[in-house]
Amino acid sequence: MPTMFTCLLIAMLLPFLPRILTFRAQFKNGYDNHEPRRQQANLTGLGARAVGAHQNSFEALLLFACAVMIAYVTQVDPVICGQLSIVFIVSRVAFIALYLLDMPGPRSTVWTIGLGLTITLAAARWIF
């Protein structure tokens, strides 16, 4: 399996890392299975940041998945795709960690790097 597809699988699993912390924060006062999204909206601190990291991970996943498919269909060199994909995954792990640690400046920088990597991967056929 090409590295970019392995990275895509990892990117599909990443949203669930901060979700574990969200559940933990929600269970402190009992989990509301009737309206879990409203309960999540009332979280503060680490719980609220975990929800944000969870949601942003899904947003990034959509763009990354499209970029991987564009690169694959346009037959970009798999080595280049793999390298860009690995650095994207590293940036997303760093993003989640920085989000949870409440470091907005570095988090925004890492988010921008991840977006740039996604755009580069999508346009790699015309760049490289």
pLDDT tens over the chain, length 128 residues: 699 999 999 999 999 999 887 776 666 767 778 888 888 888 889 889 999 999 999 999 999 999 999 999 999 999 999 999 999 999 999 999 999 999 999 999 999 999 999 999 999 999 98
Parent domain of 49 = 3-127
Domain holding 114: CATH number? Answer: 1.20.120.550
Cα separations (Å) of 117 from 49, 64, 113? 24, 9, 6
Q: At what angle do helices 45-73 and 104-122 cross, to 10 degrees?
A: 10
Q: How many domains does the chain fold into?
A: 1
- Please name the residue ranges forming H helices in 32-77: 36-41, 45-73
